Amino acid sequence: MKISAMIEELKRLKEEHGDLEVTCTHSLFEDGYSFEEGRVNESFPDTYETTADNICIATTKPEHFGEKHIRIWM
C-alpha cells in the first residue's frame, strides 16, 4: 500500500470511528495451512496481532519493494 492510499484510508476511518489504536495481524502460514488441521507444530499460533512501535525508511532491496520502502516495526 502506498503512503497516499494509507493516509486517505486512515483519515476516513478516523472520521467514522475516532482516533483508534492501529494494529497489524499476520500469519506465519499461507492460507489454508493451520495447526487445527494437524499439519504444523501446535506451539505456533495461526496468527498474531501487535501494534506499530516505530516507522522508518528501509533501504534493503527486495525486488518487490524497490530500493526504498517504509518499514513499520512491531
Pairing of strands 69-73, 54-58: antiparallel
> Does residue 41 sit in helix, strand or coil?
coil
Provide the residue count of the chain: 74
pLDDT tens-place string over residues 36-73: 555 555 665 667 778 878 888 888 766 777 778 888 87
Please compute, for residue 30, the number of CA atoms within 13 A of its CA located in the half-sphere on the CB side: 0
- Report yes or no on whether pTM surpasses 0.75: no
Please compute, for residue 62, the number of CA atoms within 13 A of its CA located in the half-sphere on the CB side: 6
